[in-house]
């Protein structure tokens, strides 16, 4: 198959020049962590960790499939009001609160998504085995919701003051394509954005572009008895699936790669007829906007050719479209924004080991993506250790959420600029 030249160019492009030698700018210092109010807030996390674990379990056990986050949203709202904080619930369902700064600092926005991917009838009872908590949704992203609530309590209890406002948004519909975050950023300003999502230790400052499409093939259909030689949407779809998997991709592990998957196949109602409609979905992902567009076009053209060969009609429907943040070299400036190195330094201060040279990654698929593509200095940082997210065997390591929560406090103090002078 003839390939658009852009793919070839992407394949040949040299990796970014060797990692630069100058240190990246940071807003974190050890002295900052020694500011009495910061220290007190950190101690508050240690002193109340059992209560935090109990609340984390309570939140996990509230089913919250995307678009059905109401119970969690009501719980979070009640907790925030109990802390004496202002609460705004917008019309899509995001719950927002704000700690007012003393003035003159940036508005720092944290985002923690309320929703999970699990159907409402899923058993979300948490079982504890040693330090591990097991339940669908316990890791992604119930941990961040609990962490954010506890970080707020700790900052209030310690009297921690920052120059900038600290805004925490509990977003909805993250798993449906970051819809709650997009809705929020359409209506609210943010100088800095930190998404709380992912495994503890991750610092992502880019955005994986993700296109979800449904490829629909339609024809007139026919009884099997009269089907010979008739246009056949299933044959067109089958040919198209085979053909799109022949589109070459940059090798896995290349500086910029891409991946796609045919996930849902659908069509036909009866055994004894050519179906009138057959469809399949494509999930296409890469951080490179040009490669995303090129591959998308190649896939759509491939489907169009398969449809024409079978004399059926073809239409592509977008299910969701999240744009890509850029190739690593295009994101070099992003890496130099202090929000990234501050996040790395905070984790190291908290004793989290990060691989040298790969402390931060120019990718991401969280609420942070919405900030990245809008040009807002943005990172996504993790919540706890854990695994098997989006599955029934999802689990999380309880004690690691303590670090995830302290991370929020240190990021708030560093990025929203603690108002109290560090002790000399």
Which parts of this chain interact with Zn ion (CB under 5 A)? 140-141, 197
Q: How far is the CB of 19 from Zn ion (least distance, A)?
A: 29
Q: How far is the CB of 174 from Zn ion (least distance, A)?
A: 6
Q: Helix or strand or coil: residue 42?
A: helix
Nearer to Zn ion, 60 or 141 (CB): 141
| Residue in the block written with tokens 């056949």 | 232
Going across the sheet that includes 192-196, the strands are: 87-89, 95-99, 166-171, 108-113, 192-196, 378-381, 203-204
Distance separating alpha carbons of residues 381 and 113, to the nearest angstrom:
13
What phi-psi label fits residue 268: left (phi over 0), alpha (psi between -120 and 50 degrees) or beta? left
β-bridge mates for residue 386, sequence order: 396
Q: How far is the CB of 407 from Zn ion (least distance, A)?
A: 16
Q: Helix or strand or coil: residue 192?
A: strand
With 0-12 CB in 10 A as exposed, 13-18 as middle and 19+ as buried, what is 73? buried
Q: How far is the CB of 254 from Zn ion (least distance, A)?
A: 26
Joined tokens for residue 187: 């209506």
Joined tokens for residue 102: 């003393």
Joined tokens for residue 355: 């691989």
Q: 247 with 326: CB under 8 angstroms?
A: no
Nearer to Zn ion, 140 or 296 (CB): 140
Nearer to Zn ion, 69 or 140 (CB): 140
Q: How far is CA 308 from CA 56, 277, 370, in A?
A: 54, 15, 37
Nearer to Zn ion, 207 or 414 (CB): 207
Nearer to Zn ion, 52 or 141 (CB): 141
Q: How far is the CB of 152 from Zn ion (least distance, A)?
A: 20
Nearer to Zn ion, 138 or 215 (CB): 138
Distance separating alpha carbons of residues 315 and 355, to the nearest angstrom:
45
Q: How far is the CB of 139 from Zn ion (least distance, A)?
A: 9
Question: CB within 8 A of 410, min separation 6: which ones?
Answer: 28, 32, 33, 38, 42, 346, 349, 350
Nearer to Zn ion, 199 or 209 (CB): 199
Nearer to Zn ion, 95 or 278 (CB): 95
Nearer to Zn ion, 113 or 327 (CB): 113
CB hemisphere CA count around 54 (13 angstroms): 4
Distance separating alpha carbons of residues 358 and 382, to the nearest angstrom:
15
Q: How far is the CB of 145 from Zn ion (least distance, A)?
A: 11
Q: How far is the CB of 140 from Zn ion (least distance, A)?
A: 4
Q: How far is the CB of 116 from Zn ion (least distance, A)?
A: 8
Number of C-beta neighbours around residue 398 at 10 A? 23
- Secondary structure letter of residue 214 according to DSSP: E
| Residue in the block written with tokens 């069509």 | 267
């Amino acid at each position: 198959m003839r390939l658009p030249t852009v793919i070839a160019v992407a394949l040949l492009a040299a990796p970014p020049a060797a990692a630069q030698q100058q240190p990246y700018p940071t807003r974190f210092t050890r002295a900052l962590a020694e500011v009495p109010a910061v220290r007190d807030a950190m101690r508050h996390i240690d002193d109340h960790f059992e209560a935090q674990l109990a609340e984390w379990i309570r939140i996990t056990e509230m089913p919250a499939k995307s678009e059905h986050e109401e119970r969690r949203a009501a719980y979070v709202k009640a907790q925030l009001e109990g802390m004496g904080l202002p609460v705004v619930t917008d019309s899509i369902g995001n719950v927002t609160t704000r700690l007012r700064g003393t003035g003159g600092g940036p508005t720092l926005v944290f985002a923690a998504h309320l929703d999970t991917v699990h159907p409402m009838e899923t058993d979300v009872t948490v079982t504890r085995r040693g330090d591990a908590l097991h339940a669908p949704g316990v890791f992604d992203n119930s941990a961040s919701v609990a962490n954010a609530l506890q970080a707020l309590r700790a900052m209030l209890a310690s009297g921690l003051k920052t120059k900038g406002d600290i805004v925490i948004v509990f977003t909805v519909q993250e798993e449906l394509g970051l819809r709650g975050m997009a809705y929020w950023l359409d209506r609210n300003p943010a100088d800095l954005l930190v998404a709380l999502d992912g495994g503890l230790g991750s610092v992502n400052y880019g955005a994986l572009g993700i296109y979800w499409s449904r490829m629909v093939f339609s024809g007139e259909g026919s009884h099997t008895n009269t089907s010979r030689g008739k246009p056949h949407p299933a044959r067109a779809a089958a040919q198209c699936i085979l053909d799109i998997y022949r589109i070459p991709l940059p090798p896995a592990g290349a500086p910029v790669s891409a991946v796609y998957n045919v996930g849902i196949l659908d069509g036909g109602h009866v055994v004894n007829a050519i179906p009138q409609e057959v469809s399949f979905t494509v999930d296409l992902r890469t951080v490179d906007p040009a490669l995303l567009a090129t591959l998308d076009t190649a896939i759509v053209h491939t489907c169009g050719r398969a449809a024409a060969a079978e004399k059926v009609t073809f239409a592509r429907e977008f299910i969701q479209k999240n744009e890509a943040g850029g190739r690593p070299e295009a994101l070099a400036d992003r890496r130099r924004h202090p929000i990234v190195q501050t996040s790395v330094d905070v984790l190291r201060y908290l004793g989290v080991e990060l691989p040298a040279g790969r402390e931060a990654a120019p990718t991401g698929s969280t609420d942070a993506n919405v900030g990245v593509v809008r040009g807002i200095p943005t990172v996504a940082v993790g919540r706890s250790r854990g695994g098997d997210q989006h599955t029934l065997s999802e689990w999380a390591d309880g004690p690691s959420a303590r670090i995830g929560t302290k991370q929020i406090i240190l990021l708030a103090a560093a990025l929203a600029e603690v108002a109290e002078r560090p002790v000399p």
